[in-house]
Structure 1
Amino acid sequence: MFFRDKPVKSNHDKYKGKANKELYDLCKQKEKERKAERISYLEIISQNLMLPPDIIAGAPIVTINGRNSISIENHRKIMEYTGEKIKISTKICNLCIEGKNLKITYYTKEELKVTGIIHSVYYQQGA
């Protein structure tokens, strides 16, 4: 008979972690494939309809008029609103406008207009 001084440690946790990582990696890869497939599908539709792919995908349409006015179409909601920063959520990203004396002049379901002295406009991922 063979006796050990130490208890035998199970390798279950080691293999469980490895299996979970493989599963999550596979899920992430499948999600990337689905997004690529959707984008290519939208590109085909846009070519057939002779429209820019951004419009079909619901991308925000940003029109800047000088330093004092900006119009945004295809927005979802206003996330932050101060005199120095306005953050707007869209389907594909967040849009940030920074400046001085910023005001939302009008706001409809389809479009909004910001006026003031605009210093910068930039996009953030994670809509």
Structure 2
Amino acid sequence: MGKNRSRRSWMDRARRLEKAITDYLELPADAVLDLPRLTLVGNSRLVVENHRGISEYQPDLVRLKLSTGELEIKGTGMLLREIKPDAIALEGTIHSLTFC
């Protein structure tokens, strides 16, 4: 348990340092810190960049792995229109987005 806590503490400090450097240099955080970028067009199209893959796919629920956890997308008639190594495009009627 001590090793896990120590590792987590080290990773938290490293993440804070990365953020401080990014802020100081005025660089885009999503690119430098590998944060997800979501583009929502109305409630019918969602593009997620910097994802880590799909953990669950159903027509009414899609879960995507992110560097910061998971993104849960609920809706109806959802289809994966594009799947690329760095981006996923989803279409359908989107009801909610939840970060887990």
**TM range, smaller chain:** 0.7 to 0.9
Q: Does 1:51 align with 2:27?
A: yes
Count of residues paired in the alignment = 100
* 2:73–2:98 contact (8 Å) kept in structure 1: yes
Identity of aligned residues (%): 22
Could you tell me which runs of 5 or more consecutive residues in structure 1 were left unpaired when the two chains were aligned.
1-23
Q: How far off its partner does 1:119 sit? A: 0.5
Q: Name 1:85's counterpart in structure 2.
A: 61
Q: Give the TM-score normalised by structure 1.
A: 0.70
Larger relative contact order (Cα-Cα within 8 Å, sequence gap ≥ 6): 2
Higher-strand-fraction structure: 2
- Runs of 4+ in structure 1 off by over 2 angstroms are 26-33, 52-55
> What is the CA RMSD across the aligned residues, in angstroms?
1.6
Q: Deviations over 1:30-74 (max 9, x none)?
A: 234312311221123202431243432211111111010100000
Q: Give the TM-score normalised by structure 2.
A: 0.87
Q: How far off its partner does 1:105 sit? A: 0.7
Q: Does 1:105 align with 2:81?
A: yes
Instruction: Pick closer, same or farther for the CA change 1:52–1:116 going to 2, 3 Å.
Output: same
Q: Name 1:68's counterpart in structure 2.
A: 44
Q: How far off its partner does 1:29 sit? A: 4.4
- Taking the aligned partners of 2:73 and 2:56, their CA distance within structure 1 comes to 10
Larger Rg: 1
- Taking the aligned partners of 2:12 and 2:18, their CA distance within structure 1 comes to 10
* 2:62–2:72 contact (8 Å) kept in structure 1: yes
Q: Structure 1 residues 111-120 or 34-43, which shifts more?
A: 34-43
Could you tell me which runs of 5 or more consecutive residues in structure 2 were left unpaired when the two chains were aligned.
none
